[in-house]
Amino acid sequence: MAKLALVSVYDKEGIVPFCEALRQLGFDILSTGGTAKLLEQSGVPVTPIDEHTGFPEILDGRVKTLHPRVHGGLLARRDVPEHVRQIEEHGIRAIDLVVVNLYPFAKTIQREGVTDEEAIEMIDIGGPAMLRSAAKNHEFVLPVIDPADYDRVLRALRQGEVPRALRRELAAKVFRAISRYDALIADYLAGHLDPSAEVAEDWPQVFHVTGVAKQDLRYGENPHQRAQFYMEPNATKATIARADQLQGKELSYNNIQDADSALQILRAFDDFEQPVAVAVKHMNPCGIGRGETLEQAFERAYEADPVSIFGGIVALNREVDRRLAERLAGIFLEIVIAPSFTEEAREVLAKKKNLRLLTVDMSQPLWRPGDVTFRRVTGGFLAQTVDLAKPIDARSWRVVTKRTPTDAEYEALRFAWRAVQFVKSNAIVVAERDKTLGIGAGQMNRVGAAEIALKQAGARAKGAVLASDAFFPMRDTVDAAARAGIAAIVQPGGSIRDEDSIAAADEAGIAMVFTGERHFLH
């Protein structure tokens, strides 16, 4: 009896010549729906699946191959006499080759405006079932999921015996692809929860992370490292992964990291409901400003540290006009991120051919319920919920000093507390109500971070406020702040030596508040 191939593909590229070659090798061909129609129209003899099973396709094609005559033919072991007896008894023909590729779920959910119903209809059921059966029984059934393997498979078949190594390789490819496919669907469904719905607090015992290759990067963090940019299938237009690049050189690995940091910091100020500008270098803010206009916000971010902004990334939360574009064009920047640019602004910035312009939809939330972040470690990875920038009620903070902050100081503390959340620990921010003045980032001791921030602020520190991402282990940071003329401090509190810091603040007439919430960032 001739060998039997089951062919059911969504991506029909190359399938006709492949099946013609199978026929020449003596295969009979079973097929479904659109694939069968294409093969028939192309002159390839084919048996429709409903003739093979004796059961029609039903439910708009949702059920067509889920039948014992299909899966019995796929799962029967030819070296087990009882299996052979049973399929013969039930008139089931053994299937030797399965050619299936899946509904394009990833492409569907990336399409602008796709509905939930459209996405769910692209969840393939029969395809993965056939592939899994074939891959499990790969000693006897050759599973082919990738059109790129058609030529290899034909070469092996022409040689008469398909090597066991190739069978196993193709089976592994099937299970790997289906695993990604299922994880992608799970990520999509989890990412489309009702924002008001409760998110389960229990962590899964097995965690799947799914990414679709988006961009080949020239190299990684350093030129000797290889790198690739993957996009989460359910990423929204609010994210860096779905940003539109209007001009400039291709994004690098470091560009993408810095741009994402800038966007996260910028969006954390959404609840301030003002134009905001953020300048970032090496994933740390070097200046944050807000104002009545976007131009004013940018100038304040620039004034915070006009040296470090050189070669940095600027993120803005309003449309960029010609006047601001002319200002930006006068500075060497790697990337400018904004919700949009006017045509006049585009004309100005087009002269900076290497400058990358990115637009991001800032009307959508950046994070969704249940979102987590990951950090790779040797042999595994860490997962944690996102440290969301929640609306700040400064009046709910606990005043621990004799002096209570003034209204103006509270507003400055609120701004500084939001900024310090996005500075690498140990982190100190010196600020006024509408701009950072000094940022001490990534120091191994807290007073060292404070000294950097205060030195950068210089004389501007007098009357300003200071924010710390974690508690003061001793009073030295408060003493340094007092020497610089700091008026008020915000910190989480919680040190066994809190009383020492409180005493130091009282001695200097500094108002200090405890938030009760830490914001380490590593």
pLDDT of residue 198 exceeding 70, the answer is no
The answer to whether 174 and 143 are in contact (CB under 8 A) is yes
15 vs 297, residue with greater confidence: 297
CATH number of the domain within which 461 lies? 3.40.140.20
Range in 211-220, 362-371, 457-466, 477-486 the model is least confident about: 362-371
Per 3-state DSSP, what percentage of the chain is helix, strand, and coil (rounded to 5)?
40, 20, 40
N-term to C-term CA, the chain: 65
Range in 231-240, 320-329, 464-473 the model is least confident about: 231-240
Examine the domain organization and report whether 134 and 26 are in the same domain.
yes
Question: Residue 61 — pLDDT band, cuts 50, 70, 90?
Answer: low
How high is the pLDDT of residue 201? 58
Checking DSSP bridges between strand 212-217 and strand 227-231, what pairing results, if any?
A: antiparallel
Examine the domain organization and report whether 339 and 463 are in the same domain.
no
Evaluate whether residue 72 is within a structural domain. yes
Cα 269 from Cα 349, distance rounded (Å): 26
Evaluate whether residue 238 is within a structural domain. no
Examine the domain organization and report whether 20 and 168 are in the same domain.
yes
**Residues making up the chain, counted from first to last:** 522
Burial of 496 per CB tally in 10 Å (0-12, 13-18, 19+): exposed
pLDDT of residue 509 exceeding 60, the answer is yes
pLDDT of residue 114 exceeding 90, the answer is no
Closest CA to 465 of 387, 403, 393: 403
Examine the domain organization and report whether 179 and 272 are in the same domain.
no
SS3 381: strand
Closest CA to 180 of 141, 220, 146: 146
How high is the pLDDT of residue 355? 96
CATH number of the domain within which 66 lies? 3.40.50.1380
pLDDT of residue 193 exceeding 70, the answer is no
pLDDT of residue 438 exceeding 70, the answer is yes
Examine the domain organization and report whether 457 and 345 are in the same domain.
no
Q: Which residues are known to be catalytic? A: 136, 282
How many C-beta neighbours within 10 Å does residue 123 have? 17
What mean pLDDT value characterizes the chain? 90
Question: Residue 191 — pLDDT band, cuts 50, 70, 90?
Answer: low
Burial of 216 per CB tally in 10 Å (0-12, 13-18, 19+): exposed
The answer to whether 356 and 335 are in contact (CB under 8 A) is yes
Cα distances from 273 to residues 74, 357, 507, in angstroms, run 61, 24, 37
Range in 118-122, 271-275, 440-444 the model is least confident about: 118-122
Examine the domain organization and report whether 111 and 63 are in the same domain.
yes
450 vs 195, residue with greater confidence: 450
Evaluate whether residue 382 is within a structural domain. no
Examine the domain organization and report whether 347 and 406 are in the same domain.
no
Examine the domain organization and report whether 324 and 400 are in the same domain.
no
Evaluate whether residue 117 is within a structural domain. yes
How high is the pLDDT of residue 299? 97
Listed residues 312, 342, 359: the one ending a domain: 359
How high is the pLDDT of residue 196? 45
Please report, as a single letter, which amino acid is at residue 439.
I
How high is the pLDDT of residue 238? 94
pLDDT in tens, 341-376: 999 999 999 999 999 999 999 999 998 777 889 999
pLDDT of residue 59 exceeding 80, the answer is no
How high is the pLDDT of residue 459? 96
pLDDT in tens, 379-413: 999 989 898 888 888 889 999 999 999 999 999 99
How high is the pLDDT of residue 192? 55
pLDDT of residue 435 exceeding 80, the answer is yes
Evaluate whether residue 435 is within a structural domain. yes
- Inter-residue long-range contacts of 9-12, CB under 8 Å, 24+ positions, other chains counted: 9/35, 9/99, 9/100, 9/101, 9/147, 10/101, 10/102, 10/103, 10/104, 10/124, 10/127, 11/101, 11/104, 11/147, 12/38
Listed residues 159, 190, 221: the one ending a domain: 190
Q: pLDDT > 90: what percent of the chain?
A: 57
399 beta partners: 513
What is the residue range of 145's domain?
3-190
Examine the domain organization and report whether 325 and 400 are in the same domain.
no
pLDDT of residue 217 exceeding 90, the answer is yes
Examine the domain organization and report whether 37 and 173 are in the same domain.
yes
Evaluate whether residue 370 is within a structural domain. no
Cα 311 from Cα 313, distance rounded (Å): 7
109 vs 274, residue with greater confidence: 274
Cα 19 from Cα 29, distance rounded (Å): 8
pLDDT in tens, 126-179: 888 889 999 999 988 999 998 988 989 899 888 888 888 999 999 999 998 888
Q: What is the pLDDT averaged over residues 246-250?
A: 95
pLDDT of residue 200 exceeding 70, the answer is no
Please report, as a single letter, which amino acid is at residue 359.
T
Number of domains in the chain: 3
How high is the pLDDT of residue 195? 44
Q: What is the pLDDT averaged over residues 46-56?
A: 80
How high is the pLDDT of residue 194? 46
Evaluate whether residue 205 is within a structural domain. no
Evaluate whether residue 373 is within a structural domain. no
Examine the domain organization and report whether 326 and 400 are in the same domain.
no
Examine the domain organization and report whether 413 and 320 are in the same domain.
no
